[in-house]
Amino acid sequence: MRIRSDSFGHREPIPAEFAMGAPGGFGGNRNPHLAWDDVPAGTRAFVLLCIDPDAPTDGALVADAGTPISVEHPRGDFVHWVVADLPADLREIAAGSCSDGIRAGGKPAGADAGGVRGLNDYTGWFAGDAAMGGQYFGYDGPYPPAHDLREHRYFFRLFALDVAGLGLPPGFTAGDAFRAMHGHVLAEAALYGTYTLNR
């Protein structure tokens, strides 16, 4: 199975129109185009995730814009998108079809490309923020700290499954999806783009 994007090249920079943060403010926050082929026989559904494995692990350091975050600082995962139960015959997601702009408090639960939206990690990041707090379903793009010296990578991972549905609860997370699809993955394809605001 192979996955590609017309919005950015593999290992190449992601344009600001597909990011939540941009130099001087917000980006376009549109989901990028994705397409895939060579799907294995027996595929009954897909799961799609976008994960940044380069997120700083110290929230206080992230909040301290006056102190650069070193490249060596410990990193963790930040989930930007999780969609489960995508139809088996789906082969393409158009740019901007699942997210186009920023919604304070997050997009509601619902469907992306015929699949079920899960919660992304902006839900936890904005918790307690009077202006932005809420449940963030679906896609919300890159917004790495401008004082982070590391260029972040954003992995779009597509899993072909041998079951038509995972039976996930409302408000499921990427962790829930990983646990539910264990033992049901026929194939995985991935690509990543990069993004930084440290210019």
pLDDT in tens, 66-102: 999 999 999 999 999 999 999 999 999 999 999 999 9
Tell me what the mean pLDDT of segment 172-195 comes to: 98
pTM: 0.97
Residue 162: CB atoms within 10 A of its CB come to 14
pLDDT in tens, 15-45: 999 999 999 889 999 999 999 999 999 999 9
Q: Are 31 and 99 in contact (CB under 8 A)?
A: yes
Q: How confident is the model at residue 103 (pLDDT cuts 50, 70, 90)?
A: very high
Structural domain total, the chain: 1
Q: Is 165 helix (H, G, I), strand (E, B) or coil?
A: coil
The structure tokens listed for 85 are 């139960």
Q: Taking 90 as the threshold, does the pLDDT of residue 199 lie above it?
A: no
pLDDT at 193: 98
The structure tokens listed for 178 are 């990983």
Tell me what the mean pLDDT of segment 41-65 comes to: 95
For residue 183, the domain's CATH number is: 3.90.280.10
Q: What range defines the domain where residue 160 resides?
A: 2-195
